[in-house]
Amino acid sequence: MERRKLYNVALVFLLVVTFLAIALQFFLLERTLILQPDNTDRVSVIADESVGGDSVAKLTTEDDSWLLECNIIASDYNWPFCELSISFFDLQQEGANKGVDLSYFSSVHIKARYLNKQHESIRFQLRNFSSKYSRVDSQSTWKYVGIEYWPGSTEAKKIPMRSLQVATWWIIEQKLAVEHTVPEVDNVMMLELATGNNVKPGKYVIELEYIKFVGKYFSNNQVLFFLIVLWAGSAVCFLLFNLKWSRQQLGKTKKKAEELRQLNQLLNVKTKELKDKAERDPLTGALNRAGIKKVFTKELEVLSVIFIDIDHFKSINDKYGHGVGDEILKNFSETISKNCRYTDFLARWGGEEFLLVCPNTSLTDAYDLAKALCQIIREKSWAKGIKLTSSFGVAQRGDESAWEFIERADKALYAAKARGRDQVVVSGYREGKITGR
């Protein structure tokens, strides 16, 4: 009865915490950032006259609102505009590439409207700085993330942050890599509110009362993760408590059974360790001959092998010592493994010779892989600045034994060495001859 009572109390506690977390997330714990005349510095205004146009802009403050007075004048500049700008950085301070992180906010509320026009759009954009593609001394490299919208009524316009997009013309102008074309607002240097695209010549007055960013201190995913961890952790605690209670009831018999289970698990681990030691080369971690043997017992319609030998490896041992030679062998094995398919099998055949077994691989594909590996080894930086090359022999299995198959690849390898090393030679089964490609 005592145990059941404890369970009931714990369940009630979990339900109360869950309800409170959900209620706080949806009704409280909201963070805001409000930009308005009485709390915002570094506000400026520009027009297209700064880029060769003739338009003129003026900024005043009236009744706790900004008034952007804009005289759009036609000129040779094709994209006239007036713009209110709020800076979040100071070029005179150290670390001038630090702006404000707005990624925590889910929406922005803009209370702005045209006082003398209707059906005109407004451009809202954030200028984000990233050390990957931006420069402090060139604002044109700061990413344009924004949206163009129509104010409509006098109410504030709510814009989801996920609706903001990177300006296509800016991506093209900066020749930005694809991975950097996504919207970013984690280091915003500047906020801009401007007249819309294709604005016609004339006088415009935009009244801006405030810009408010709204978000949660914690995302819905974070709250969900917390609740999952809370319930899962509680379940684990209940299970552990129940297990402890059960063990006490079962007594010595249960204890002996657990000891036998643990011993059996330990034996399984030891058996696996012994198997790995028997089938793997202790220096490189690659399979040995015993480990690779099982691959040839599988029924595969297409099977190719690549014999690989490090050129002039003895001279490396003689000049730098066996310690460096061992390091080269381990690094060589890692390089081959990282640059082939996960379905391929690498074995250390002996000394500096390796055998790469490629199931379901044609002779042409195996040749292409060998050529790629040959180039990778040639261009890689090795220990002590050593320049390393390798020779390759490639063969595809025909109607022959595994030994005959491997022997043909071995002969192709030695043909590659005889022809000057650092190259790939292919063994043709049907023609019974060895050819270089």
**DSSP string of 325-374?**
HHHHHHHHHHHHHHTS-TT-EEEEEETTEEEEEEET--HHHHHHHHHHHH
Q: Which residue reads 């650092």 in tokens? A: 422
Give residue limits of the domains in the chain.
32-216, 289-436
Instruction: Give the Cα separation of 364 and 179 in Å (integer).
Output: 34
Pairing relation of β-strands 390-396 and 424-428? Answer: parallel
| 289-436 CATH pick, 3.30.70.270, 1.20.1070.10, 3.90.470.20, 3.10.20.740 | 3.30.70.270
Instruction: Give the Cα separation of 141 and 180 in Å (integer).
Output: 12
**Confidence bin at 93 (pLDDT 50/70/90):** low
Mean pLDDT, to the nearest integer, of 157-186? 94
Best CA proximity match to 88, nearest among 107, 69, 102: 102
**Confidence bin at 296 (pLDDT 50/70/90):** confident
pLDDT in tens, 118-133: 889 999 999 999 999 9
Q: Which residue has the higher pLDDT, 155 or 35?
A: 35
pLDDT in tens, 9-57: 888 888 888 888 887 777 777 889 999 999 998 999 999 988 889 999 9
Mean pLDDT, to the nearest integer, of 373-395? 95
Best CA proximity match to 223, nearest among 430, 362, 399, 17: 17
Instruction: Collapse the DSSP code of 305 into the 3-class scheme (helix H, G, I; strand E, B; otherwise coil) and give the result.
Output: strand
Joined tokens for residue 158: 């709510």
Per the prediction, the chain carries an average pLDDT of 87
Instruction: Give the Cα separation of 117 and 178 in Å (integer).
Output: 39
pLDDT at 416 over 50: yes
| 32-216 CATH pick, 3.40.50.1010, 3.40.50.10320, 3.40.50.10420, 2.60.120.430 | 2.60.120.430
**Confidence bin at 259 (pLDDT 50/70/90):** low
Joined tokens for residue 399: 């109607």
pLDDT at 332 over 80: yes
- Measured on CA atoms in the order 112, 115, 120, 126, is the torsion positive or negative? negative
**Confidence bin at 274 (pLDDT 50/70/90):** very low
Burial of 359 (0-12, 13-18, 19+ CB in 10 A): middle
Instruction: Give the Cα separation of 76 and 153 in Å (integer).
Output: 34
Instruction: Give the Cα separation of 70 and 60 in Å (integer).
Output: 11
Distance of CA 357 to the CA centre of its chain: 31
For 397, other C-beta atoms within 10 Å of its C-beta total 22
pLDDT at 236 over 60: yes
Joined tokens for residue 361: 């691989």
Cβ atoms of residues 316 and 325 within 8 Å: yes
Instruction: Give the Cα separation of 104 and 114 in Å (integer).
Output: 30
Asked if the domains 32-216 and 289-436 are classified in one and the same CATH topology, the answer is no
* Percent of the residues in the chain that have a pLDDT greater than 70, as a whole number: 90
Mean pLDDT, to the nearest integer, of 157-169? 94
- Angle among Cα 35, 40, 45 to the nearest 5 degrees reads 95
Q: Which residue reads 């690779």 in tokens? A: 292
Looking at residue 42, the DSSP 8-state letter turns out to be -
Looking at residue 184, the DSSP 8-state letter turns out to be -
